[in-house]
A and B are shown apart, each in its own frame.
Chain A
Amino acid sequence: MEREDVWELGGRTLTSRLFLGTGKLGDESCLPAVCAAAGAEVITVALRRVDLQAPDQGVLAHIPDGMILLPNTSGARTADEAVRLARLARAMGCGHWVKIEIIRDARYLLPDNEATVRATEILAREGFVVLPYMSPDLYAARSLVDAGAAAVMPLGAPIGSNRGLATRELIAILLEEISAVPIIVDAGLGRPSHAAEAMEMGAAACLVNTAIATAEDPVAMARAFALGVAGGRLAYLAGMPAVRQQASASSPLTGFLEGL
């Protein structure tokens, strides 16, 4: 009786709602097991210079075949740098998806929404599937949609902070107001319950990196997040009973109707 809960992104049909980040893993060889445990279909990577002294195969060698690669533009401080990184990523020949990430602040790693809108506009025109990482702001989200973003990815809390949905109220506004594209909560989700909460609120998916990568057992944590995401999603679909406003008037508020 359970219908398959699929969704569309960038012209692809997805069944998983957990995107996986690949940073901060001590040992990338565990990635196949982590991907399997997460049930992930989309996985992020970053671009860096080849180390001429100690060249390696890079992370690709550990990513299972068939996954959708989502290169990010980490390191970019301006729209132009993000565009350049996106083009380099596409030249790798692994698809045309890109997560725009433009950061000009070293302490909180907060994205620059304005520059992100500009980069989104350019890259969407060039045919990229653009997933912009952003601070949850309604107007910025609308501008990103107008600029051609395939989804918007508001942050739950600063990258790597594991603080959960610190921006809950602002994300709730995006979920309420932005219906043209999926909303994927990215960054800050430190526990499966954080991801479940985002999914209960109606997010289309979550992107998790640090919390899984830095767990003592990344494979088990990937599974835990997958369950959190699935549970939250199921609850959202089930139509959660509303929190009842306590109606405890000592005399009925509509009692005046009796005497009419």
Chain B
Amino acid sequence: MQVTINGQQREVLDGMTLVQMVDSLGLIGMPMVAEVNGEIVPREAWGTFVLPSGARIELVRFVGGG
């Protein structure tokens, strides 16, 4: 199925959880927050959160800023 991650279209397996997706991107262990379709998904729920088809996913982290 298709999802959009940080504005980029990606093809992922049906039934993929959020944590599996983050892992597939090589991002496990990095401090970040995930938002799916405008809702924040708490980190402890990533393992059970199944991505819906067409999900818009935002992964954000802190960068330098004033």
Contacts and interface: CB of A to CB of B under 8 A. Distances in A.
B59 interface: yes
B62 A91 contact: no
Given A50-B30, A57-B30, A45 B63 contact: yes
A57 B60 contact: no
Contact of A209 (B5, B8, B26, B66): B66
Contacts of B64: 21-25, 28, 45-46, 59, 213
Nearest to B8: A52
Contacts of B5: 52
B60 A55 contact: no
Contacts, number: 102
A159 interface: yes
B1 interface: no
Of the listed residues B5, B59, B60, the one surrounded by the most CB atoms of chain A closer than 10 A to its CB is B60
A25 B38 CA distance: 31
B33 A159 contact: no
Contacts of A92: 31-33, 61-62
A48 interface: yes
Contacts of B63: 45-48, 58-59
B27 interface: yes
Nearest to B26: A55
Contacts of A47: 60-63, 65
A162 interface: no
A135 interface: no
Interface string B34-66: 010010101100000000000000111111111
A173 interface: no
Contacts of B66: 21-24, 44, 46, 72, 74, 159, 187, 207, 209-210, 213
Nearest to B65: A46
A21 B30 CA distance: 22
A60 B31 contact: yes
Nearest to B22: A50
Contacts of B33: 88-89, 91-92
B2 interface: no
Contact of A71 (B8, B40, B58, B62): B62
Contact of B62 (A24, A52, A59, A213): A59
A27 to B, nearest CB: 10
A49 interface: yes
Contacts of B42: 91
B35 A88 contact: yes
Nearest to A61: B31
Interface string A175-189: 000000000000100
7 contacts: A48-B63, A49-B58, A56-B30, A58-B31, A71-B62, A71-B65, A88-B35
Interface of A: 21-25, 28, 44-50, 52, 55-60, 69, 71-72, 74, 84, 87-89, 91-94, 159, 187, 207, 209-210, 213
Interface of B: 5-8, 25-27, 30-33, 35, 38, 40, 42-43, 58-66
Given A46-B64, A46-B65, 20 more contacts: A21-B64, A22-B66, A23-B64, A24-B64, A44-B66, A49-B6, A49-B59, A50-B30, A52-B5, A58-B31, A58-B61, A59-B63, A71-B62, A71-B65, A88-B58, A91-B33, A91-B42, A92-B31, A92-B62, A93-B43
